[in-house]
Amino acid sequence: MKEANETLATDFILLGLFPNMRFVSILIYAIILIYLTAVTGNFTLLLLIAMDLRLHTPMYFLLSQLSLVDLALISSTVPKMMINFFSGRKAITRLACGTQIFFFFTLGGAECILLTLMAYDRYVAVCNPLSYVVIMNHKVCLQMAVVSWIGGILASTAHTIYTMNLPICGSREIHHFFCEMPAIMKISCKDTSTYELVVFVMGISFIIIPFGLITASYIFIFLTVLRMKSPQGRKKALATCSSHLMVVSFYLGPCVYLYMTPGSSHSPEQEQAVSVFCTVLTPMLNPLIYSLRNKDVVGALQKVLGKHSVSKQNT
């Protein structure tokens, strides 16, 4: 049946974060603080990895890629939300909406792949340490980074093209604080049940399979750690791996809820709450988890701060 009243060439209206919530301004200011913390934390981590030679290892190279992804991910949603809130304007052009969807899925897909490759790096480091330098050489690390970004771009391109070509009948109001595929599918006048199945299959590829590979890697890691005779080596391995497991659970858990369960079972408020956790809180927590629980990163920070204080005293 031919759909009527399609509005394919008009702007969308973002209703914003929890539009019916009282004192939403307090939440907005809290998110601004989180955003600044995330930008500062990830930028500091990137700077430390670049400056300290002790951090020029495969693990920290992959961690720098994760920080880049987190910086871009939180910056793809929060600034637009802040501009809309303080200006009172809620409209977003189709081009801007499509661009936001593209970057969101590119970065989300890249992070899923990157977290899997980081687990493999830890597996090789703990289970096969004598061959670690050979296996995880500079060329392999670069290939891992390229695969992460290309995988995210390919998946994102398919999602963006489909979503932005959905016919919209009637209301163009998106019940979200940024353009997200499930929210747009809900206002489409086209039956999207088939595509929801496609999204589920993509979720298996980018969420369930990575989670399975990460779990398998850490099973082997923990079995190896239990056989270690050195308590210090066991403690260091567990500290590094537990940090990565925390990041994985914080990121993949919300993704399972958003993309692996039927969209009809979510309310707009539930989707927004999960999106805030996934796209705002996680990019802030990642550098804190990796820095506070990592002696190498803390040492590099102390070294930089020590040099800065010495140079100030000399002047």
Pick the closest to residue 184 from 199, 203, 202 (CA basis): 199
Q: How far is the C-alpha of 174 from the C-alpha of 96, rounded, in Å?
A: 14
Q: Which two tokens stand for residue 19?
A: 């539009």
Q: What is the DSSP letter of 76?
A: T
Q: How far is the C-alpha of 41 from the C-alpha of 131, rounded, in Å?
A: 32
Q: How far is the C-alpha of 81 from the C-alpha of 311, rounded, in Å?
A: 41
Residue 174 exposed, middle or buried by CB count within 10 Å (0-12, 13-18, 19+): buried
Q: Which two tokens stand for residue 309?
A: 């204080």
Q: What pLDDT was estimated at residue 30?
A: 93
At 244, the pLDDT band (50, 70, 90 cuts) reads confident
Q: What pLDDT was estimated at residue 4?
A: 40
Report the sign of the C-alpha dihedral through residues 270, 263, 166, 110, in that order. positive
3-state secondary structure the chain: CCCCCECCCCCEEECCCCCCCCCHHHHHHHHHHHHHHHHHHHHHHHHHHHHCHHHCCHHHHHHHHHHHHHHHHHHCCHHHHHHHHHHCCCEECHHHHHHHHHHHHHHHHHHHHHHHHHHHHHHHHHHCHHHHHHHCCHHHHHHHHHHHHHHHHHHHHHHHHHHHCCCEECCCEECCCCCCHHHHHHCECCCCHHHHHHHHHHHHHHHHHHHHHHHHHHHHHHHHHHCCCCHHHHHHHHHHHHHHHHHHHHHHHHHHHHHCCCHHHCCHHHHHHHHHHHHHHHHHHHHHHHHHCCHHHHHHHHHHHHHHHHHHHHC
User: Half-sphere exposure of 258 toward its Cβ, with a 13 Å CA cutoff?
Assistant: 27
Q: Tens digit of pLDDT for each residue in 198-222?
A: 888 888 888 889 989 998 998 898 8
At 288, the pLDDT band (50, 70, 90 cuts) reads confident
Q: Which two tokens stand for residue 177?
A: 């604080």
Q: Tens digit of pLDDT for each residue in 9-58?
A: 468 889 888 887 778 889 899 999 999 999 999 999 999 999 988 889 99
Angle of helix 58-75 relative to helix 94-127, nearest 10 degrees?
A: 160
At 304, the pLDDT band (50, 70, 90 cuts) reads confident
Q: Tens digit of pLDDT for each residue in 90-111?
A: 889 889 999 999 999 999 999 9
Place of tokens 């190279």: 61
